[in-house]
Amino acid sequence: MKFIIIYITHPNLKIAKKVTEALLKDRLIACVNYFPIESAYWWKGKIESGKEIVSLMKTKKENWTKVKKAVETMHPYETPCIMKLEVKSNKAYADWIKKETR
């Protein structure tokens, strides 16, 4: 079974957890991993940089639109990074994701 990983950047861990806990509660995602990162990017005509948190959320392909819309309503960034990555895994893990999401 194919599933997706949704890659999202957040300003800090507290906000990342707030967003993902809502998605877990609604069973839109099966699980999430958090990683601290350093980012550099163009923003409003100049180069910015700073620390962020990346969340990697695992879910069914069918949940992409629901997750994206939910994150857009909760996320504090004016232009949040919400990316879908299509992946394959071992059958047992993919079956677990399917079982744990709606």
Q: pLDDT tens digits for 56-83? A: 999 999 999 999 999 999 999 999 999 9
Domain ranges of the chain: 2-100
For residue 32, give the amino acid letter.
V
Q: Which CATH class is domain 2-100?
A: alpha beta
Q: pLDDT tens digits for 17-62? A: 999 999 999 999 999 999 999 999 999 999 999 999 999 999 999 9
- CA nearest to 87, candidates 62, 67, 58: 58
- CA nearest to 64, candidates 89, 33, 85: 85
